[in-house]
């Protein structure tokens, strides 16, 4: 059995990557994206908005926005506003020129509680943001051994830094920043230092009692941990299971850190691809999308399969970060090769006509994928070589409210699209950003996806 003495706890774990939103046009956009409560105008997340135009976007990128902020954590989001296309947000925040940034705190009124900076270098922007994200935490060491704490910068661009040591039975205040991490090291008599706990600072809890994060076996050896003898606690089990998206019950510290590093890399790559890829792809339609109905015969084929076939867990790479499979696992009803060929044949004529008569070659049918309550999907573009002319086909759903697809068309306008069972969305999936960043409220939402390349 693997020892749990070196396991690091991630809180919250895999949800570290931000949703980065391009082409924000209005406060209503912020509301529909779940960033601001539409009833009271209160920010649900910390918001960092960058303002630019075509003439200065390279300067904005030179300051590291948004790339340096892709691992800020689940309570911080970033977004971009292009000044030549939007007046409302610029007016709301008194933006007068390019390369300005707005910060709205979580819990603040999006119209009145904000700060603005005209940044001129990376360090100025970074320090300004993290001044707003500063947190003072009280650490209570009620474990039967001394601990020391190392501090980790968001994104782990530098190694852990020694912060403070806290004897058993003592407390200490530490100054840190929301979205950064505290790594705890045990110092037990007769044993070497062991990393046993890793906590993300989320700003919601400003008092951290160490025993709250450990299973009772670690402290039950004595009635009061503060009165324990100097004996070594052999194992330090954690009361969390699978929170980093692993298929294992626990991972060693090295394995766990590798998952985090890979997710950081993948999220940064996603943001870069979202910016660069749409500019390199031909455009075949005026807007890049069209809502339609699935041909009735092929819809019945998929619906019958969905109702009768076995549902299994959908495999996801541990490093994937564009969906939250680690919190709300998706399931699959796999289609047969014969059914996939029927879908290709049924969908190709309409998609060909919609795309202006270009010649299409079938590349992929995927589904039926079933999303479950709490699922979300970060905005993204699809594979650039094979997913050019595509369709999302909704097979079945049971939802409390429409699970809106966000879509940015060829003109840079943002749309919020509702699909019902039997609906299809034709879309240029490699050149138009799309996603479902607001969590699904409901039991299930089942889609099949079909993709063609242009030859």
CATH number at residue 140: 2.60.40.780
SS3 139: strand
Both 54 and 111 in a single domain?
yes
The one-digit pLDDT tens for each residue of the chain (455 residues) are: 222 333 333 333 434 577 899 999 899 999 999 999 999 999 999 999 999 988 888 889 999 999 888 878 778 999 999 888 777 899 999 998 888 999 999 999 999 999 999 998 999 999 999 999 999 999 999 888 899 999 877 555 567 788 999 999 999 999 998 888 888 898 988 888 888 887 878 888 889 988 887 655 555 545 455 555 555 555 554 433 334 333 333 334 455 566 767 777 888 888 899 999 999 999 999 999 999 999 999 999 999 999 999 999 999 888 888 888 888 999 999 999 999 999 999 999 999 999 999 999 999 999 999 999 999 999 999 999 999 999 999 999 999 999 999 999 999 999 999 999 999 999 999 999 999 999 999 999 999 999 999 99
Distances (CA, A) of 34 to 30, 133, 188, 201, 321: 6, 20, 46, 22, 19
Would you state the structure tokens that stand for residue 161, as one six-digit string? 């830094």
Q: Which of 213, 240, 267 is the last residue of a domain?
A: 240
Please give the Cα distance from 418 to 405 (Å, whole number).
6
For residue 275, being part of any structural domain is answered with no
Both 124 and 145 in a single domain?
no
Please give the Cα distance from 6 to 9 (Å, whole number).
10
Residue 283 has phi, psi (to 5 degrees) of: -115, 130
Both 156 and 180 in a single domain?
yes
Place of tokens 């402290």: 219
Q: Spell 351-383 as b/e; 16+ CB within 10 A means b.
A: bbebbeebebebbbbbbbbbbeeebbbbbbbbe
Both 346 and 233 in a single domain?
no
Both 201 and 315 in a single domain?
no
Q: Which of 185, 216, 240 is the last residue of a domain?
A: 240
Both 123 and 146 in a single domain?
no
Both 448 and 349 in a single domain?
yes
Both 188 and 332 in a single domain?
no
Both 351 and 298 in a single domain?
yes
Q: Which of 240, 263, 293 is the last residue of a domain?
A: 240
For residue 262, being part of any structural domain is answered with no
The dihedral through the CA atoms of 35, 41, 42, 48 has a sign that is positive
Residue 370 belongs to domain spanning: 281-454
Please give the Cα distance from 445 to 9 (Å, whole number).
32
Both 97 and 150 in a single domain?
no
For residue 349, being part of any structural domain is answered with yes
For residue 248, being part of any structural domain is answered with no
Please give the Cα distance from 120 to 63 (Å, whole number).
8
Peptide bond into 368 cis (omega under 30): yes
Residue 375 has phi, psi (to 5 degrees) of: -70, 145
Both 220 and 179 in a single domain?
yes
Both 330 and 309 in a single domain?
yes
For residue 78, being part of any structural domain is answered with yes
For residue 245, being part of any structural domain is answered with no
Cβ-in-10-Å burial (0-12, 13-18, 19+) of 46 comes to buried
């Amino acid at each position: 059995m693997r020892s749990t003495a070196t396991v690091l706890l991630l809180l919250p774990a895999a949800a570290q990557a931000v949703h980065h939103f391009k082409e924000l046009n209005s406060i209503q956009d912020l509301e529909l994206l779940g960033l601001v409560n539409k009833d009271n105008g209160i920010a649900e997340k910390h918001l960092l908005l960058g303002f630019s135009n075509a003439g200065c976007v390279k300067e904005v990128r030179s300051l590291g926005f948004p790339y340096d902020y892709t691992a800020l954590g689940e309570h911080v989001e970033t977004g971009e506003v292009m000044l030549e296309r939007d007046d409302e947000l610029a007016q709301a925040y008194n933006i007068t020129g390019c390369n300005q940034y707005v910060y709205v705190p979580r819990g603040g009124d999006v119209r009145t509680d904000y700060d603005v900076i005209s940044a001129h270098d990376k360090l100025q922007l970074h320090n300004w943001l993290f001044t707003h994200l500063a947190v003072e935490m009280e650490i209570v060491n009620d474990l039967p051994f001394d601990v020391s704490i190392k501090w980790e910068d968001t994104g782990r661009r530098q190694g852990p830094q020694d912060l403070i040591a806290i004897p058993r039975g003592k407390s200490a205040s530490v100054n840190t920043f929301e979205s950064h991490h505290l790594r705890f090291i045990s110092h037990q008599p007769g044993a070497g230092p062991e990393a046993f706990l890793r906590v993300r600072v989320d700003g919601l809890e400003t008092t951290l009692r160490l025993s709250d994060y450990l299973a009772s076996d670690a402290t039950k050896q004595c009635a009061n941990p503060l009165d324990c003898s100097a004996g070594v606690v052999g194992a330090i089990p954690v009361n969390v299971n699978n929170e980093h998206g692993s298929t294992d019950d626990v991972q060693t510290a090295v394995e766990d850190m590798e998952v985090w590093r890979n997710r950081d890399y993948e999220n940064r790559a996603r943001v870069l691809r979202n910016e660069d890829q749409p500019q390199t792809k031909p455009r075949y339609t005026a807007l890049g999308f069209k809502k339609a109905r699935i041909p009735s015969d092929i819809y019945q084929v998929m619906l019958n399969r969905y109702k009768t076939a076995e549902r299994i867990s959908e495999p996801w790479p541990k490093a994937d970060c564009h969906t939250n499979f680690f919190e709300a696992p998706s399931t699959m009803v796999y289609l047969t090769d014969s059914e996939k060929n029927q879908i290709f044949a049924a969908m190709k004529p309409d998609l060909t006509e919609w795309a202006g008569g270009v010649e299409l070659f079938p590349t992929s049918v995927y589904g039926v994928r079933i999303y479950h309550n709490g699922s979300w999907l970060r905005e993204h573009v699809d594979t650039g070589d094979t997913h050019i002319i595509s369709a999302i086909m909704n097979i079945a759903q049971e939802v409390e409210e429409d699970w809106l697809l966000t879509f940015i068309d060829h003109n840079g306008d943002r749309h919020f699209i509702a699909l019902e069972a039997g609906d299809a969305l034709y879309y240029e999936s490699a050149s138009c950003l799309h996603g479902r960043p607001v969590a699904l409220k409901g039991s299930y939402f089942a889609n099949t996806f079909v993709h063609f390349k242009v030859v």
